[in-house]
Amino acid sequence: MNSVQQSIEQALQKAFAPEVLVVENESHKHNVPANSETHFKITLVSEAFAGKRQVQRHQNVYGELREQLAGPVHALALHTYAPAEWQEAQVPESPNCLGGGK
């Protein structure tokens, strides 16, 4: 059985044929049980995003990950770029979780 991270990577590879795909499990930064797969940071560079606004890009990603979002995934940090934008991009660091007593 695939991990949640692997299922996300496979879905995004298939849908977007990305030049860059980094899926980071950031669950350990949150107040969740050990080895959880609930919080992810995704950096995705694809020609499919050329000419699209960020909200459209995010909607496309959410649509491809609807199964994961309906189940185990609680949060996604999305950083989506067209190839021409990637050269100038600086992917921000995720903030530490402020909730849940951590």
Q: What is the pLDDT of residue 102?
A: 43
Q: What angle do CA 82, 30, 64 make, to 5 degrees?
A: 35
Q: What is the pLDDT of residue 101?
A: 47
Q: What is the pLDDT of residue 36?
A: 67
Q: What is the pLDDT of residue 35?
A: 63
3-class secondary-structure state, position 4: helix
CA-based end-to-end distance of the chain: 31
Domains of the chain: 4-14+21-86 (3.30.300.90)
The H or E element that residue 80 is part of is: strand 75-81
- In DSSP notation, 50-65 reads TT--HHHHHHHHHHHT
Q: What is the pLDDT of residue 38?
A: 78
Q: What is the pLDDT of residue 92?
A: 64
Q: Which residues of the chain have pLDDT under 50?
A: 100-102
